[in-house]
Structure 1
Amino acid sequence: MVRFSKLPFRLLVRKYGCDVTYTSMIMSDSFRLSAAKRSHEFVTSQDETGPVITQFAANTVEDFIGASQLVVGYCDGVDLNCGCPQKWAMHEGYGAALLYSPQKIFDIVRQFRNQVEHEAAFSMSVKLRLLSSLNETVDLYRQIEKCGVSFIGVHSRTHQMRTEPADHDQLAEIKKSLQIPVVANGDCFNLEDYRLISEKTKAHGVMSARGLLENPALFAGYENTPLCCIEDFLKLCVKYGFNFVSFKKLFYWMIERNCSKSERLNILACNSMSQFLDYFKDNFNSDFSIR
């Protein structure tokens, strides 16, 4: 079985101050139908002591419900991704495309509440983006709230926006308009960003994706990924298994801020874990070894 380094990464960010972790976005249709897909995408451990949310891409009730039923008892909740802006997702009707087919979102949330056996603690959340106006956005979110969603995560950009600053002023207004918890997303790259977003939006939590990829110790207050965090990641990968190509990509992101381009390219050129470890020990002043 090929195992990816997603479980080690979740355990890593948990160790460095992250309260709730998400899986990467999983395609619900293939997850529901393929045991091989499930073994690739969904690996959990009893060592995950805090809440874990399984994030699904879906554009039908059947796929989302079927996939969700398979993870009940193995995580703490499921999330419907309505925020991914990638062209393939928009073209296929996934991610942010669902914002323009809101009835699908309503049906998925309602049917989840009707069909999926779960305890009160098992959550069903939705990750969203902004629409073209605040009124449209608030109206949509209120309708989703009425369907019985546990909480929402809001990326404070429209699906067309890329590098423009996240609009946390809009998110603050959205938060005032809803009764359910709201988690803020967008432009959280360090602990000061977290504090500013929390203060401005009054959100119940702040989510980070790119920020944590670049620095898994973000919520512990480190400005860049410390050596101890990198070594912890290596230990977790060795303990729980990993795919070397996936591992290299994650490692590349972790060192991108404070290593030269040539150093990063040398990492990508490594063809095995032993070759990587030799380079790592020689260039990062580390005595890490696999025992």
Structure 2
Amino acid sequence: MPSPLPKRPLSNRPTHVIKKCQEQNRPAYIAGPMVRYSKLPFRELCRFYNVDIVYTPMILAREFVRNDVARYSDFTTNERDQPVIVQVGVSNVEDFMKFIEMIHPYVDAIGINCGCPIRDQIREGIGAALMSKPQLVANLIATAKAKYGDSICIDTKIRIHNDINETIEFVRLVEEAGTDIITIHGRTKTTRSSVPVNLDAIKTLRQHIKTVPVVANGDCFTLEDCNRIAEYTGVDGVMSARGVLANPALFTGLNKTPWSAVEMFMHLTTSYGLPYKLSQYHVVQFLENMDIPRRVIKEINECKNMIDMIDLLDKYFYLTRKSEKGFATAIDPQWKITLDSI
């Protein structure tokens, strides 16, 4: 018989982390779930820059509980991967309970996705489709809490309705059902990301949520954004997804991605493994946020494998390895050549 897993420390529970941040007179800094991109190397990179809580990508409960290939491909972790919230796309109680049974020893919270606006997900009855099924969401939470009680932590991540009163009723139901956290993306399922997030709606909902922490999601691209959102809405934490994807150091106050992020990410992705196209995408996002010339980024986008990308980075930059002095400490790009020569 394998030895039992050690219990997750209570200090890692997101509600405890949020409380600790409150004691520091600041909102909790949270890296949100992103399809494909919130994998283990990126999660650890975010923690390198003092992100308090990190999400996994959304995992489909139906596939996870039935298919061991899906389990191995969708979720990897290690002893440093904490605090972590696993986000789940689910449409029925049976799959949800099986999912929790399998995964809860490895995570610090389970996040129910009621916000993903992708049409395929909505057709499957998950993501934002759940915003029209408040009783189902409440039943998911209540059933899980009836079995596991305080041994699990549940976050309910929602969007808003066109009628804010409908959302007020939604949060009332899930709060009464026993959710531990409510995360609010201040857009409807049809609102484009180019439209500013509705902070007034988040503020209103915060005033109606009595007993659990509230996290705001949407339009957080700098630490200044984070503090402004928290102050205006009164929430306990602020989540960034697109912001940290481009700049995982944004909660440190750096408004452009530091060169250290490239070095640390290259170390993590080559140590843990990640599909090459995902690694390439992350590196390109970082470099674009540093205002690296388009010609260099184009060359990196044309690399076909990890070896070629490393060689190209080494051609243009001093890419320090972990064993070398000064690893992951530089702020500005460490050019080997002058920009005039590019």
TM-score, normalization by structure 1: 0.93
SS class of match (1:73): helix
**Take 1:168 and 1:4, find their aligned partners in 2: how far apart are those partners?**
26
| Partner in structure 1 of residue 50 of structure 2 | 17
Amino acid at match of 1:131: H
**Take 1:170 and 1:289, find their aligned partners in 2: how far apart are those partners?**
45
**Take 2:268 and 2:116, find their aligned partners in 1: how far apart are those partners?**
29
- Mapped contact 1:5–1:243 kept (Cα < 8 A): no
| Partner in structure 2 of residue 165 of structure 1 | 196
| Partner in structure 1 of residue 297 of structure 2 | 264
SS class of match (1:59): coil
- Mapped contact 2:38–2:56 kept (Cα < 8 A): no
**Which of 199, 206, 211 pairs up with 2:231?**
199
Shift of 1:283: 2.1
| Partner in structure 1 of residue 267 of structure 2 | 235
Q: Mean Cα displacement is larger for which, 185-194 or 100-109?
A: 100-109
Asked if 1:147 corresponds to 2:147, the answer is no
- Mapped contact 1:184–1:206 kept (Cα < 8 A): yes
Say if 1:5 and 1:21 are closer, same or farther in 2 by CA, change over 3 A.
closer
Say if 1:281 and 1:72 are closer, same or farther in 2 by CA, change over 3 A.
same
Give the superposed CA RMSD: 1.9
**Which of 126, 129, 133 pairs up with 1:97?**
129
Asked if 1:175 corresponds to 2:206, the answer is yes
**Which of 35, 40, 47 pairs up with 1:7?**
40
**Take 2:288 and 2:75, find their aligned partners in 1: how far apart are those partners?**
27
SS class of match (2:202): helix
Report 1:50-129 matches (<5 A): 50-115=82-147, 117=148, 120=150, 122-129=152-159
> How many residues align structurally?
286
Asked if 1:216 corresponds to 2:277, the answer is no
**Which of 135, 140, 155 pairs up with 2:165?**
135
**Which of 272, 283, 289 pairs up with 2:316?**
283
TM-score, normalization by structure 2: 0.80
**Take 1:249 and 1:165, find their aligned partners in 2: how far apart are those partners?**
26
Structure 2: tracts of 5 or more residues without a match: 1-35, 325-342
Structure 1: tracts of 5 or more residues without a match: none
- Mapped contact 1:281–1:288 kept (Cα < 8 A): no
**Take 1:121 and 1:279, find their aligned partners in 2: how far apart are those partners?**
48
Say if 1:5 and 1:89 are closer, same or farther in 2 by CA, change over 3 A.
closer
Shift of 1:249: 1.5
- Mapped contact 2:213–2:236 kept (Cα < 8 A): yes
Shift of 1:57: 0.5
Question: Which stretches of structure 1, 4 residues or longer, exceed 6 Å deviation after superposition?
Answer: none
| Partner in structure 1 of residue 76 of structure 2 | 43
**Take 2:37 and 2:88, find their aligned partners in 1: how far apart are those partners?**
17
**Take 1:33 and 1:215, find their aligned partners in 2: how far apart are those partners?**
36
Identity of matched residues, %: 35
- Mapped contact 2:145–2:152 kept (Cα < 8 A): no
**Take 1:184 and 1:171, find their aligned partners in 2: how far apart are those partners?**
7
